[in-house]
Structure 1
Amino acid sequence: MRVLLTCYPANVHLYPIAPLAWALQSAGHEVRIGTHLHGGFADALTRTGLITVSLGDPNDPEPVLRPDARMSAMPDEVDAYAKIMGLNPDEREHWICFYQYLINPISEYLRPDLPYADDLVEFARTWKPDLVLWDPVFAPGAVAAAASGAVHARFLGSMLDWPGFFHNRLEEYRTQLEAAGLVANPFAEAMRPLAERYGVTVDKELLFGQWTVDPLPDGIRLETDLPKLPVRWVPYAFAETSQPWLLQRLERPRIALSLGESMRRVVNGDFGRTPKLFEALADLDVDVIATLNSRQLDGVRRIPDNVHVSDWLPLPQVLPTCSLHIHHGGSGTAMPAVASRVPQIVTDTDESNMLRRVTAAAVTGAAMTSDEIEYDEAAAAAEAVWELPAKHMMAPWWSNYVVKYGAGVRMNYQTMSVEEIRKQILEVLHGPSYRAGANKLHDIWLATPSPNEIVPALERLTAEGRSRI
């Protein structure tokens, strides 16, 4: 069969889906990946060895960086939804991840005035895929499937199913939300203009596919009423030359420190996390491999003698040689540790995931909650600044997960002293219970069907879906 995959143009979205794309291709199916090949992402796709479909102009920036890009919702608007829907604290954090972080990148690639969706629909109508597997953050895949007569399903990748989790709740409170002047279903309204252009009905199937392929493990994924096909997350990195020094016999434990793929491109100093971690690690009888770039090292006065810094090393090579992984809480750093049976320390904080819009004069670099800021629209209009929270949006859920199974701990690096951080590192590094917990997570991972093993299910579901078209 012919399978078209869509991928938001970022490595963190490509890594999870590449093993499944290769599993399909290795089984004899024709596979294409459609995306916006902006900047260096064209090289990233080429290195997968898969055939890609270029959408739009590769010289154009990502739509979220355009001057006319949609702005993130103000905190008071985010909270208005949360109050009307009666969200508890955990649900509110999930809502922030969906409404403040995801709805913008989702919406920008759905815009009918930009070429990406039209290019994808045109390709699908010409190539005629049997199955479209689409990234929820690159949702034109759903419209392309419907417009070309293909069966379609979502591939969740590194994120929780926030759109699916809130769909029923938004519908339940539709009347109250509309009475408050709020859009009742932001995802549906983002999809509607493109769908109407191609005569496609905006219903639950269009928004969430006929089923969802979910690579996050049982115990962390959000429960919804949508049909799910679990798949094992296979750690993936681009083809790299083997590093023999990683396999040399170690005289003392090795610790990996990795703070992610996304923020390393835009945040200088990593919110002060790196200097504090280096100070805590400096006096320990360990070897540390820190996969950090120059932005993440900004503010570091001295790299300790026991720390080896490399701008890039593939975690599937590094982690099997390590006894502990310290990371920022992204799925792309947590899952390789699960696959390698390595205990984890997740650097999470107490502050909300919410983006905050403040005046330039108010930005101090310190953590602030939305309740601590006065919102004066007139004053903010001239010098508004969006301030990122000092945490990854998946960090709370990964820290909860590793703690639940005894595979690691949560580190609040903002409130803990260097001595407390050092003590916590030694506890996890040398505590046998954490190794046992890491083995539990590995067993859950190994019990999940691999990409190769779900190919027959994808073939069956596609055939069943096509028989109903």
Structure 2
Amino acid sequence: MRILIAVAPLTAHLYPSVPLAWALQSAGHEVRVASNTGLVEQITAAGLTAVGLGERTAPPAPITDEELDRFSDALGFEAGSGFDQLFRATRYYLVAAYKRYHPDEEGRQELADTLVEFARNWQPDLVIWDPACPVGPVAARECGAASARMMWGPDYFGWVRRRLLARMNDPASAVSADTDPLAATLAPVFGRFGHDFSDDLLFGDFTVDPLPAQLPRPEGLRSVPMRWVPYTGAAPVPRWLSQPPSRPRVCLSLGVTGRTVSAGRDERVAAVLEAVAGMDVEVVATVNTDQLGEDRKVPDNVRLVDYLPLTQVMPTCSAIIHHGGFGTFFAAAAHRVPQMIVMEELGSALSSTRYLEARGAGVALPGDGLTAAQVGGELSRLLSEPSFQRGAAAVYADMTAAPGPGEMVPILERMAAQYRTRD
């Protein structure tokens, strides 16, 4: 069987699919992973065959206030409502992601055209695609392959669609198929290849869902649960890491993708460094010089590492402080490590923090206005109160209840045969 995996150009979107790609490849299937040229090196570093799609010939058109107003009106958002997080997700995950695949002013769209052309020529049996790469289902349809979404976090895409449909069915709402902002945003992507917007294209034949069953998700979508197996990159193990820590080791990580999305000095780093300066702990901080800021004093008990795969350091840690991304969350959960999430506006932090606190596996603090006193007090609790270890064990049990990537192979083989339209 041939499997094409299409990923938006973000590390946090690639890494969750790597263990599944390994499993399919190890079972004898041909696997290709397609993304922007900038991600090709990371794909090949993972031992996978990359398909470089190139880069946009021009930057995506900016998101306009008019577009956001259309979504806000259609979804029924009001300032200060409980939908604020979903509105931010709509802007950053849906609109921004989809516009990356819109044609430029001269009608060119290298990313979409290259992916579809490759699928037509290579003829995969199954296309597994990142929901932030909306040309993935088009490629599947163009070659008659089965079409599967691969989630990497909360299904904002499904929640937005379900709310829009509910509003369309509400007689008191002015939303209709003609004013559907989601269909309008995807029209340049789907229409480029002669396809009309439909839920079949938006969601594919089924969804591979690596989030534990205890996390909320939209109802009514066909999904296949899979265990999240952490992959956080590859690098030689440093010599110091092979020695057991002499005191509790704490990891600080604010994510790889965040370095490019919100580059520059991060005040959360300053708060953590100040907090741990007087504590009897060893801190491994995977932050770069930009996040650290100029002239920042680093305490003697802090080891700065620009990059270190979390799967290497987590087995030696007693706690982790991070931004709430699910890649980091599950890297820690796989080793039953209690967590402190310092939330940020973007990312999956709202979902991960609710789950973390509900299971008693850690604490959450707002990233804005974070103080050293807050960090120090909560970190002391994580390291001293046994309830957090029990909560971390509960998250691990949730996480490991679903089939692993190897167990997914026969499932995907059956589903590819069921949904493939090409003989």
TM-score normalised by the chain length of structure 1: 0.82
- Percent identity of paired positions between Structure 1 and Structure 2: 38
Match of 2:50 among 45, 49, 52: 52
Specify the alignment match of 1:71 in structure 2.
63
Specify the alignment match of 1:107 in structure 2.
99
Aligned residues: 418
Alignment of structure 1 residues 363-378 onto 2, 5 Å: none
Q: Which runs of 5+ in 1 are unaligned?
A: 349-389
Specify the alignment match of 1:393 in structure 2.
347
Shift of 1:50: 1.2
Equivalent position SS for 1:173 = helix
Give CA deviations for 1:387-432 in whole Å, capped at 9, x if unaligned.
xxx5333112111111000000012354454223211110111110
The reply on whether 1:123 has 2:137 as its aligned counterpart is no
Specify the alignment match of 1:187 in structure 2.
182
The residue type paired with residue 50 of structure 1 is L
Shift of 1:468: 8.9
Shift of 1:308: 0.3
Moved more, 108-117 or 120-129: 108-117
RMSD, aligned CA? 2.7
Change (3 A) 1:177 1:319: farther
Distance 1:399 1:319 in 2: 19
The reply on whether 1:269 has 2:265 as its aligned counterpart is yes
The residue type paired with residue 73 of structure 2 is Y
Equivalent position SS for 1:77 = helix
Change (3 A) 1:129 1:309: same
Please say if residues 116 and 138 of structure 2, whose CA atoms lie closer than 8 Å, have aligned partners that are also in contact: yes
Shift of 1:223: 2.7
Specify the alignment match of 1:253 in structure 2.
248
Specify the alignment match of 1:208 in structure 2.
203
Moved more, 427-436 or 406-415: 406-415
The residue type paired with residue 268 of structure 1 is G
Please say if residues 234 and 309 of structure 2, whose CA atoms lie closer than 8 Å, have aligned partners that are also in contact: no
Distance 1:462 1:110 in 2: 29
The reply on whether 1:18 has 2:18 as its aligned counterpart is yes
Distance 2:201 2:48 in 1: 26
Match of 2:358 among 404, 411, 421: 404
Shift of 1:249: 2.7
Specify the alignment match of 1:353 in structure 2.
none
Shift of 1:196: 3.2
Q: Which runs of 5+ in 2 are unaligned?
A: none
Please say if residues 289 and 307 of structure 1, whose CA atoms lie closer than 8 Å, have aligned partners that are also in contact: yes
Change (3 A) 1:97 1:300: farther
Equivalent position SS for 2:20 = helix
The residue type paired with residue 385 of structure 2 is G
Specify the alignment match of 1:457 in structure 2.
411
Distance 1:288 1:78 in 2: 46
Alignment of structure 1 residues 232-311 onto 2, 5 Å: 232-265=227-260, 266-270=262-266, 272-299=267-294, 301-311=296-306
Please say if residues 275 and 299 of structure 1, whose CA atoms lie closer than 8 Å, have aligned partners that are also in contact: no
Please say if residues 82 and 92 of structure 1, whose CA atoms lie closer than 8 Å, have aligned partners that are also in contact: no
Please say if residues 330 and 395 of structure 1, whose CA atoms lie closer than 8 Å, have aligned partners that are also in contact: yes
The reply on whether 1:3 has 2:3 as its aligned counterpart is yes
Specify the alignment match of 1:318 in structure 2.
313
Moved more, 402-411 or 88-97: 88-97
Please say if residues 345 and 408 of structure 1, whose CA atoms lie closer than 8 Å, have aligned partners that are also in contact: yes
Distance 2:50 2:245 in 1: 42
Equivalent position SS for 1:284 = coil
Distance 1:334 1:323 in 2: 14
Change (3 A) 1:118 1:405: same
Specify the alignment match of 1:161 in structure 2.
155
Change (3 A) 1:284 1:210: same
